[in-house]
Every structure is written in C-alpha cells, then in structure tokens.
A and B are shown apart, each in its own frame.
Chain A
C-alpha cells in the first residue's frame, strides 16, 4: 500500500446536494421528451396527441430547471454570469447554453409545426440528457472519472426511460392507450440498456463502482420487472402508473447515488494519487 498523508484525501468533495441531483434528473427527462416528441408518428391521431403531450411536458420541465440550477449556486444572483461567456470546453457552460437552446426550440415547436424544428429539438434533447453525464465524468471525482463512458451513456438511457415513463403516465391518464403501449416498449428498451451499461460498469470497476451499482441495482431491476409483469386488461392503467413511478424513482435514485457515492469516493487518498485517464 502506498503511504498516505494521515489518510487525508487528496481531492475536494463536491458541494452538490439535492438541487443538483434534481437538476440532473429533470434535465434527463426534458431531453428525453424531446426525443419522444420526434419519434411520435404525426400520421396517426395517437401519434399527434403524443407529440403534443411530450412537447408540453418537456417545456414545463425545462422551465422548472433554471430555478433549481440557480438555487445551487453560492451566489445565485450571479446566474447570468454563465451567459456572459460561451466556453464549449466546459461541460457546464455548454450545458447552460444547451438548456437555453433546447428551451427555445421546445417553446417554438409548440407554436410551429416543422420537421426540422422537431429534429433539432430531438438532437438538443439527446445532448441535454447526455451532457449531465459528461459534466460528472470530466471531473477529478474518482467514481465519476472511472465511468467516463458508462455514466454519460447510462444518463441518456435513464433520461429516455424516465421521459417515456412520464409520457406514458400522462397518455394513460388522458386515454391515449396506443401511445402507452409504444412508450412502455421504448421505456423497457432504455431501461434494459441502462442495466447492461451498469452491469458492464460494475464488472470493469473497483469497490466504489460496485458500491454505486449496488445502490442503483434494485430500483433499475424493479422498474424493468414492473414493465414485464402480465396483468389483466382492466389493470393495465394501474400497471402503467406503477411502472412509471418505479422508472422515475429509479432515475432519481440513479442521480442521487452518483452524487452521494461520488462524494464518498473523494475521501479515498489512494484514488486521488492515481487518477483514471
């Protein structure tokens, strides 16, 4: 074992708490809904309804993001300082501009029906869901740095799954059964993708990676199982709502575990001595 300096950590722990967790979670949903809106088939009535649902929900969630983002700043009144510069090399700077661009596109696409605008919103949405992962992995925090490819990919999967969960819950309550079925299938695919990424991450990483995966394994597995359970037709809506709740909970717990286990990982001096490339 290498010597340490009184077991003092080399690295500083993140100062981030519930507001950053919530922001990462909602950012994923917002972006995922942009993808869902683009996927919905405008040639069918159910597709058109889904598109509208996804667009409105996305704009609502996008609007909730800035206040949460601002609340985590040490000097909240200086939020606008992020808009005085554009630094594509900083994931946080690029992300703020991405959020601004996405929100603009989301608002515009509600008013104007245009294929290019819909596609743009979907691309910006994919960016929004994924950049939160890059924002974490491009730091010195040992857990995040260890998952430089896994965490961003898992964030995209989780964002899309959560977006499908929210859209299917709304569609189920508003009687768009056709859309619910499709959304649930994509939700399953995205959650399965997330599970595969997490399993691979678990196998490739050390004890702190296993601690992280261990914390998210149960919620992800539960949301996956909930969608597979067969229920009689009259209980379909209940299952949809339950599966949606589980997927959304898993999405939140995934971000929460990232932040919490990430914080703990900074206290290990050995992890700070040799940092992942």
Chain B
C-alpha cells in the first residue's frame, strides 16, 4: 500500500481551529485547560500528548511611525501536527516497540503497549510527542464545573489510559475504514489535505509554482529530506516565511545518529581506565 500523509498549505489557513476541535472530538482528547496567552489568537500554544493539531498565529507588524496605529502587514497561520518522519526519533527510541510504522507509513503509538517511560518525548526533534497526564490530573477537568459523577462519566478512553505517550495517529482508525482524518475532513479551506504522498507532493509543487507566478514566495518544508538523517516528512508544509517563524526547526537532527560517537567515547574511556586499573592492581 502506498504511504499516506498530510500536506498543510499555510497560505490557505484562516485560523478557524476547526482542525483542533475535530481532532479533539474524534480522538476523545481532554481539554488542556483554559488560558488566554495574549499571543495573537493562539491559546493552544503547542502540540501535546492530548493536543494533536495546533494552529499557530503570527502577526507580522509593519512599524510605521506616521500611522496612528501599527498596521498588520502579514498574518500567518499554520496548523501544526506530528510530522510522521520517515526516520522517526520517537519510534527508534521506544524501548517497548509501542511506537510503530503502520501499513499507511504513519508513525503510530500503541497505547496498550506503551509503558510511559518518556524516552520518545526527548527523542523527537520536533517536540511533538508528550506524555498524557494520568487521569487524576485535576487540570483536565477544571474547565467544566462538572459534578463528581459527571466527571467520571466524562472520562474518555485516552484519559483512562493516562501515563502513556500521545500524539497524532493520522486518524489510523478512520483511515482503516477509508475515511479522511478528522482534521482534514473538517478543514473548510483545504489548507489541510490528506492523501497518498506522491500525489500530495505533486500537488504541493504545483501550488508553489502557481504562487510564484502570483509573486508569493513560498517553499515546502518536509516534502523532501529535511536533513539530519530524518528523511522526508509524511506530514509536510507549505510556508511563506522561515521555518523558525512557525516554531519549526531549521536543522532538525535524528538523535540516534549520535549513538556511534557516544558508544565509541564510552568504550575509549573504559579501555583507558581498565589499562590504568591493570597497572595499579596487577603490578608487583
């Protein structure tokens, strides 16, 4: 079967957050609390174990001293998601084999196998995957003024299996029955496009060319190899500014590529100490 993925075209995003809501509803993900950040319209802030789509808002203001108020020059919005890397740091690090590549070529966490060691969290070069707090985390329920009994009834499957790692499944369950992932389905502007990777890449290249004709300087992030041993991303993006502006790493690195250097250094130190120890303990 050919691999599937997301093409997120940020030039089409209108910041409606329908993807965030659709994702939470379909996957029965709990609320992450309620706070106003003052960071444009972004009150979600980041992807987490229980937030698998996150719409970033960047207001780029042109400072015109003569004008009565600063003028918004460009307003960028991007729906961020797990990148579903070709070589995924989380999957490589996972000691239980809970994180796998499924038949759609997507990186999937099996919650019943995961033991919540947290090693995937530090092994993701994009800071996507995180641990889901156990169910007794009051923060999850503090939004709604639910009674004790209602609270229990409102616990979802994910909440009950808290303590494990969570991230976008690329709606594995929906794909299995031939449905489009919830976020792509709900997106009103086709900013989030789901499909077979080859087709998506073709479409994305055409989009970049057509934007260039209209004088918009756009580029793709993750359609090709992002470097650092990661390879291409099954969830890639069309951006109109530098990756950092959207909180994406410019030079991500697959953490496991540092292992040879580490093991070599450790072996070198061990051999040196063994020789010194031999001289100390075995000299007559």
Contact = CB atoms under 8 A, between A and B. Distances in A.
A149 B262 contact: yes
A134 interface: yes
B62 interface: no
B164 A74 contact: yes
Interface in B7-34: none
A70 to B, nearest CB: 9
Contact of B258 (A84, A148, A272, A274): A148
A122 to B, nearest CB: 7
A182 interface: yes
Nearest to B243: A273
A73 interface: yes
Contacts of B263: 130-131, 134, 152
A139 B278 contact: no
Contact of B95 (A93, A151, A153): A93
Nearest to A126: B270
Interface stretch (A186-194, A213-221, A224-232, A236-244): A186-194
Nearest to B113: A81
Q: Which of B96, B128, B162 has the most CB of A within 10 A?
A: B96
A234 interface: no
A237 to B, nearest CB: 20
Q: Which of B122, B123, B127 has the most CB of A within 10 A?
A: B122
Interface residues of A, number: 79
B253 A145 contact: yes
Contacts of A185: 280
Contacts of A269: 244, 247
Contact of A275 (B134, B162, B253): B253
Given A3-B242, A8-B45, A189-B273, A152 B262 contact: yes
A10 B264 CA distance: 29
A186 B273 contact: yes
A204 interface: no
Interface stretch (A35-43, A103-111, A250-258): A35-43
Interface in B156-200: 162-165
B122 A139 contact: yes
B251 A274 contact: yes
Interface stretch (A57-65, A154-162, A168-176): A154-162
Q: Which of A8, A10, A133, A197 has the most CB of B within 10 A?
A: A10
B253 A74 contact: no
Interface in A82-126: 82, 84-85, 87, 89-93, 96, 122, 126
Nearest to B270: A126
Contacts of B277: 35-36, 39, 160, 186, 189
B242 to A, nearest CB: 7
B36 interface: no
Contact of A35 (B56, B113, B270): B270
* Residues of B in contact with A, size category: 35 or more
B254 to A, nearest CB: 9
A49 interface: no
Contacts of A205: none
A133 B269 CA distance: 12
Nearest to B271: A126
A130 B270 contact: yes
Given A12-B124, A41-B282, A274 B249 contact: yes
Interface in B229-284: 242-253, 255-259, 261-270, 272-274, 276-278, 280-282
Given A35-B274, A182-B281, A190-B273, A140 B45 contact: no
Contacts of A274: 249-251
A75 interface: yes
A190 B265 CA distance: 15
A73 B117 contact: yes
Contacts of B258: 137-138, 145, 148, 276-277
A15 interface: yes
Nearest to A4: B244
Nearest to A137: B262
Contacts of A5: 56, 58, 244-247
A20 B182 CA distance: 38
Q: Which of A96, A144, A153 has the most CB of B within 10 A?
A: A153
Interface string A1-16: 0111110111110111
5 contacts: A74-B132, A78-B113, A152-B262, A189-B280, A266-B127
Interface of A: 2-6, 8-12, 14-16, 35-36, 39-41, 47, 72-76, 78-79, 81-82, 84-85, 87, 89-93, 96, 122, 126-127, 129-131, 133-135, 137-141, 144-145, 148-157, 160, 182, 185-186, 189-190, 193, 197, 266, 269, 272-277
5 A-B pairs closest in CB distance: A74-B116, A130-B266, A74-B163, A5-B247, A78-B115
Given A3-B245, A90-B94, A189-B277, 11 more contacts: A5-B56, A10-B248, A73-B117, A74-B132, A130-B269, A135-B119, A139-B93, A145-B258, A148-B262, A193-B269, A274-B249
